[in-house]
Chains A and B, each alone.
Chain A
Amino acid sequence: MQQAERSAAPPATAEAPFDFDVVFRTNYQSIARAVVRIIGDPARAEDLAVEAFCRLWRRPAAHGEQSGGWVYRTAVRLALDELRRRARRQRYEQLFSAFRGTAPAADELFSAAEERGRVRAVLSRLSRRDAELLLLRNEDLSYADIADAVGLNPESVGTLLVRARQAFGKEYVRTYGQP
């Protein structure tokens, strides 16, 4: 046990002592929840949340006051990547179905395209930054926190969020029609 604790202590930066354990315990639950909101798969969400913290451990440059925001953003990115992977796979599967002449019936398609699925599909097609901004805002992060997490000037967060929403709306309507 002692060895495990020692092994898991990441190198501290010269500027400030860094307590990985505190950052983990403070943020893990909320980050896991943020990820499960995005991908909807509880087991995978915990995997990705753990991976985000492992990345934090391996990245001394991210150790410090901004660690919480950094790991949050990393987890959201991992979740978005997962969404994209799943969307790609779905597209391939549909393609194969078409070749086999067993394309899913319209009602089957729509059963998978309920609102949550539609939102995830649209998010997977947005630019990474637009999707990140929308998801972080959806987590009720303040503009200042979003700016910290994404590395933006807080003054520009509002404008960028408007653009992200426009992109979301446009993609949604293009794909599914006006809600």
Chain B
Amino acid sequence: MGNPNRDRFDDTPWIDHGLHTLEVPTSFHPDTAAARARVDLAVRVAIGRRRRLLVVSALGVIALVGLPGTRALAKQMWNQLVLRRVVVVDVPRSDLADSVVEMFTMKPVASFNTGLDDRAAAERLADMHLMLPGNGVPSREPAWQAIEHLRLSTRPLDVVAIERALAAAGASDVTVPPEWEGTTLVAEGGPIIVADWNGMQLLQAAPFHITTSSSLQFSAFMTLAFRVFGQPPDAAATLGAALQTNPALVMRFPKRARIRSVPLQSGEHGVLVEEGAPEGAAFFWSTPGRIFALSGDELSAVQAAAIANSMR
């Protein structure tokens, strides 16, 4: 048998010679410390990306939320949205292509994450007093991060594709204004401050701004969206009108998620979204001028309410 590590092809030594020409340049001195720092940085970015996804799901729930208080509705912009009231809207159609759904729901298109040294740095960046739970989370200081800016957008509207989706839903009474071709809804917000207790994260931010093109009439747009999503005409019109009064970020959330409305001491309700492993659970609520998202591997309604009620 001989040495098992000895190659058995001495008849072609030129192959070995060729492979051995692949030498390490004499000037090559890998910098282990620098490389280790780069790995750390990449890992932190990956963690940030995961948080960003949590934010996305946070907004996904906000998407199901009606916003109170009629806002001065400039033709193109709704400012300072305040989240107070929760409306869960079911989308019965399961045959819709993602490309169609994405014309009415928002996805992040740009964000910028940064690490923060401590709470003081986070407050300076956010320009507000940050609230933390009084109970229900570890008492130690969390790690701080920020999503300095988050921009979300719908996919540009494709009138022909929408008309096709409406026809498939049996909504032959609806017409899509041709001038809506290419229209998008854009929402921008930030900084979103993230306090991380290693397994439980709390996000808080000021309300987002929504921008539309001037040709778009928001109520009609949302009514159309709900028709495409399979709502009957009356329900779609009611929802569209509600969102005209109380504009919201319109996001999607997975069907598999279990959603519960959880009453808070303030008299408002939060929304608990339980997706199970590995996504875990997230709880969303708001106070005037601020939206919150709490996420963890496990989070019960009792825990979520206790934490939200103890914020100070």
Contacts and interface: CB of A to CB of B under 8 A. Distances in A.
Interface stretch (A84-92, A99-107, A165-173): A165-173
A57 B4 CA distance: 33
B40 interface: yes
B267 interface: no
Contacts of A62: none
Contact of A49 (B5, B12, B35, B44): B35
A7 B28 contact: no
Nearest to A159: B8
Contacts of B38: 50
Contact of A142 (B5, B30, B39): B5
Nearest to B37: A4
A165 to B, nearest CB: 5
Interface in A112-159: 115-116, 118-120, 134-135, 137-138, 142-144, 154, 158
A7 B28 CA distance: 30
Contact of B25 (A36, A49, A144, A179): A36
B72 interface: no
B51 to A, nearest CB: 11
B21 A115 contact: yes
Interface in B16-75: 18-25, 27-28, 30-32, 35-36, 38-40, 42-44, 46-47
A33 to B, nearest CB: 5
B118 to A, nearest CB: 10
Contact of B35 (A32, A134, A135, A172): A32
Contacts of B44: 4, 7-8
B9 A165 contact: yes
Contacts of B15: 165, 168-169, 172
A174 interface: no
A179 B14 CA distance: 8
A24 B36 contact: yes
A26 B46 CA distance: 24
A162 interface: yes
Most buried by A among B4, B20, B28, B31: B28
B27 A8 contact: no
A49 B15 CA distance: 26
A29 interface: yes
A119 B32 contact: no
A88 to B, nearest CB: 20
Interface string B169-205: 0000000000000000000000000000010000000
Nearest to B145: A3
Contact of B22 (A6, A54, A116, A168): A116
Contacts of A53: 35, 39
B234 interface: no
A161 interface: yes
A6 B143 contact: yes
Given A6-B143, A6-B198, A165-B9, A33 B22 contact: no
A46 interface: yes
Contacts of A72: none
A134 to B, nearest CB: 6
Nearest to A137: B7
B156 interface: no
A7 B30 contact: no
Contacts of A25: 32, 36
A131 B252 CA distance: 45
Interface string A73-89: 00000000000000000
A17 interface: no
Given A32-B28, A42-B27, 6 more contacts: A28-B36, A33-B30, A40-B22, A42-B25, A143-B4, A165-B9
